[in-house]
Amino acid sequence: MDAKYPVIESADSFEIEGGETGILLCHGFLGTPQSMHELAASLARFGYTISCPRLPGHGTCVEDLERFSYTDWYKRVEEAYHDLKRTCSSVYVIGQSMGGTLALDLASEYQDMDGLVLLNPAIRIPDFEPYRNGTGYVSEGRPDIKRQDVEEITYDKCPVRAYQQLLNYMDAVREKLFRIDVPTLSFQSVEDHVVPPENTDEIMSQIQSEHKEKYVLTDSYHIASMDHEVEVIVEHTVQFIHDTSMNDTTDHTAEEVFK
């Protein structure tokens, strides 16, 4: 569907031009690419080409979210993945929360992916199960970020229909985990008030990847890309890419990429 509602300032898709190694960033449910700005800026210092698409219905208004299904969200990241593949010799995918669900889905379909990085990925959220039925809206509180000096762009309420799409999507992706055999690095916050940390353990036990790493975050909540340990995430991700990629094109030049 064509855009019907204006995009909130700083919430739209972005790209950063870099070298031969591409990174696709997938934001989470109700979030926007703004939640990935700091992570992207830090990764960009190492010379990566970065793409972060805005999922349909996100970053505009809550009425817009009701217009789309999880297949629309997947199609958007799939398009961005193919765009990176056309310009980069290797592509890694980083997904946070439902962005991790999307990244897992991509990895189950595209075995040419060079690596997968998961930030508190979601495949099973018991607290959302009551929304399997019903209509209307659910009030949303402050996003789950330990830092108090940052604010995520999101909605203050969510359509029950959107929760149903998320629940159905997690069900579908759980059934595909056995297909995944790309190198995988996961980050698991020990204190996450949205997605039970056990999601990460279930994923890592089900995927078939020979190269699997897990790093535990002790000073971050669910939205780890905006929390205290974002530079820890960058450090381990850069090392993971270096260890698994044939194209170490990082140039270590730092520049301001966001205003």
Catalytic site residue from 35, 51, 90, 97: 97
How is residue 130 written in tokens? 């009551």
Give yes or no: 192 in active site. yes
Q: What sign does the CA torsion over 194, 196, 201, 207 have?
A: negative
* 222 a catalytic residue: yes
201 is catalytic: no
Burial 68-106 (b: 16+ CB within 10 A, else e): bbbeebbebbbebbebbbeebebbbbbbbbbbbbbbbbb
Cα(122)–Cα(116) distance, integer angstroms: 14
E strands, 102-257, are 115-119, 137-139, 157-159, 184-189, 212-217
Q: Which of 186, 222, 227, 245 is catalytic?
A: 222
- Which residues carry out catalysis? 97, 192, 222
